[in-house]
Amino acid sequence: MHLLTITPESLFQALSDTSRLRIIRLLATSGQEICLCELVDALLEPQYKLSRHLKVLRQTGFLSSQKEGRWVYHRLTSEPDYLQSFYELVRGLPDPQGIYRRDLENFNQRMTLRQDGRCRVGILSPDLKAGGE
């Protein structure tokens, strides 16, 4: 595995999208890892859209991922050290419309469905499943 070179430009470019900022804020606030289906139900965004955003965040170096069977768990990276300060900054951003609060509430509710600490139920929001199933 090679180490990604994270530049200030790439950090801010990755967070120039609202959905990616919401993902980082959710993971930084919760301190947990999340699979795509849990993220879909937490942010109420389509699977295909969030998959693209997760890819950008992985390529930028914000996220690492680990596959377990059919599930892939995403977590914030902790290196380089200055990312911790960056996550603290993101956690402290204002939330005048309550978007981050709702994301966290949805996330916490969704996390109660885990079995043995792992996701096992898939996407619950029927209109947000891949292909609109």
In sequence order, the β-bridge partners of residue 75 are 64
**Beta carbons of 123 and 46 less than 8 angstroms apart:** no
Mean pLDDT of 25-33: 95
What's the whole-number mean pLDDT along residues 37-47? 94
Give the confidence band of 12 by pLDDT, cuts at 50, 70, 90.
confident
What percentage of the chain carries pLDDT values higher than 90? Answer: 60
Instruction: With CA atoms as reference, report the closest residue to 76 among 12, 18, 20, 16.
Output: 20
How high is the pLDDT of residue 133? 38
In the structure, what pLDDT confidence band is assigned to residue 2 with cuts at 50, 70 and 90? very low
Domains and CATH numbers, the chain: 18-112 (1.10.10.10)
Region of poorest pLDDT, from 34-43, 88-97, 122-131? 122-131
Instruction: For residue 80, say if its preceding peptide bond is cis, omega within 30 degrees of 0.
Output: yes
Instruction: Write the CB contacts of 88 (distance below 8 Å, at least 6 apart in sequence).
Output: 28
Check: CB of residue 103 under 8 Å from CB of residue 97: no
Residue 1 has pLDDT above 70, yes or no: no
Pick from 15-19, 24-28, 112-116, 122-126: least confident: 122-126
Could you please report the per-residue DSSP string of the chain?
Answer: -PPP---HHHHHHHTTSHHHHHHHHHHHHH---EEHHHHHHHHT--HHHHHHHHHHHHHHTSEEEEEETTEEEEEE---STHHHHHHHHHHTS--TT-HHHHHHHHHHHHHTT-BTTB--S----GGGSGGG-
> What average pLDDT score do residues 111-124 get?
86
